[in-house]
Each structure stands twice: as structure tokens, then as C-alpha cells.
Structure 1
Amino acid sequence: MLRLSERVTIPDEEILMQAVRAQGAGGQNVNKVSSAIHLFFNIHASSLPDFYKRRLFAHAAHRISEGGVIVIKAQEFRTQAKNREAALERLKEIILAAAAPRKTRKPTRPTRGSKERRITNKKQLSEKKQRRGKPDYP
């Protein structure tokens, strides 16, 4: 069971994990042992509250497949157990990041100094472009 908060948990039945062979260098261990983990979490079929589901689709849309499934591959450790823990931790981070409240933007005004710098910069550029014209000979 994956605990997200005191009230929200995800049962193990909703998280599908599959052991696969890891990629990359590693010699005999990588070639023979299925230590990498593919984690599949179907958002539509989960028992997550609607708030979490809506925020997940809005926030983590690039990580979600067309069928509404989050796919995570964990292969950074040599053991299957550690990769399983890493995949579950990553899923938890994704869900909690999506559910985190967004900071509201406070509109600010430019300072007097920044306005003056912008105007002087504009004047300098304007003068530079004026000097680019053809010279007028007498």
C-alpha cells in the first residue's frame, strides 16, 4: 500500500509492477537478471479522489499515456527490491507534486530605475540606427 497522506492511500492491487531486464552496461548481471521494474498505474481505474485525478492530468500530462496510465521504469539499482522501492517513490513524488497547491502570482510594477534604463537603452539604439543611414555629402 502506497501512503500519500493520512487519508489518501493507493492499494497494491492498483499498481502493476513488471520485472524486466535493465539496459546498459553490467555484464552477466544485466544479461541474466531481471532487476529493472516497469510500474504501471492506471489513473482512471484507481481509487484516488477526483481532485488528485484532475490535478494529475493537468500537471503530469507528459508522463501519462493516451489510456491514462503512468509508466515508470526504475533501473538505477542492482536489486529488484530497491528498484521497486524507487519506482513507488517516484510515483508518490509525481502524485504529490501534482496535488501541491500552486502559488498565486502577485503582479508587480517596474521600478523607476528599470524604466529609466529601458528608455536610455532605447534612445541609444535609436541613435545607433540613425547613424547607419547614407552620409549626405555637400
Structure 2
Amino acid sequence: MQLVVKESKQLVVTDKKQVLTVPPRKDTANLAPCNHEEADTRMRVHAADALECGHRRILIRTVDTDVVILAVALANERSEVLDELWFTFGTGKNRRYIAAHQIAKALGPEKSRALAVFHAITGCDTVSAFAGHSKKAAWAT
């Protein structure tokens, strides 16, 4: 992989189970082998790895609301080592920068902590909803 990245930046990419980094990293144990089939959980693994490497500000680019939910849960879970967790959401003129760390703070620890479980039950691709209840109705409960 030949790519020039600013000295203060790290690029980490997964290709199937293989992990590629620029500049090269000796230790990718937190990432490899990458066996997450869904991009939304794979992005969470990448963000958690960035925190383990000492990064305190993270930006995730997505068009998937599932990634947003997991980012807010991660911002709450790792708030002691995370200064800011941002995501860009949308495409083109509709792209916005949103602060997951501020959403987590506004929701509070209890609701933020529940988001990952809520995603597993309602948001992942293999389970779409509680029996007979929409996501909105389930969250209100």
C-alpha cells in the first residue's frame, strides 16, 4: 500500500481479515484478524483501537444510522480517554458534522449505555425490530 499520510495521522484499513496501516504499525492485535462482517461494528472496533493507540479525537464518516448509534454508545463508554468523537453523516450538500460525544452527554450514561444493546436487538441487519413494535416505540419504553 503506497500512500502518503500526514505525520500526525494514521490510516488503518481492513481488507477481509487482513489489516493494512499507513504508516506501518507493528502491533495490530486489537484489529486482526478482522472478523466483523458488518461495517457498523467494524468501525466501532477501529475507533476503539484508535483510542488504545492514544488518539483522543476521532472522526467517522458514514451514511448509516447504525454507525451513529454505536458511535454515541462508544463516546459514553470511553469518555475517560476520549475528548471528541465526531461523525460526518450524509452525502454531498446534505453532509453534516455531528458530535457523538455531545449526544452521549445529553442522553446521559444510562441511555447511552443502552444504545449498543438496543442496536443489537433492533438495528443490526439480522434483527429488524421487537415483535410488533417499531424502534421508536421500543426506545420510548
TM-score by length of structure 2 reads: 0.24
The structure whose RCO (Cα within 8 Å, separation 6+) is larger is 1
Q: What's the TM-score once normalised by structure 1's chain length?
A: 0.24
Please identify the structure whose Cα radius of gyration is greater: 1
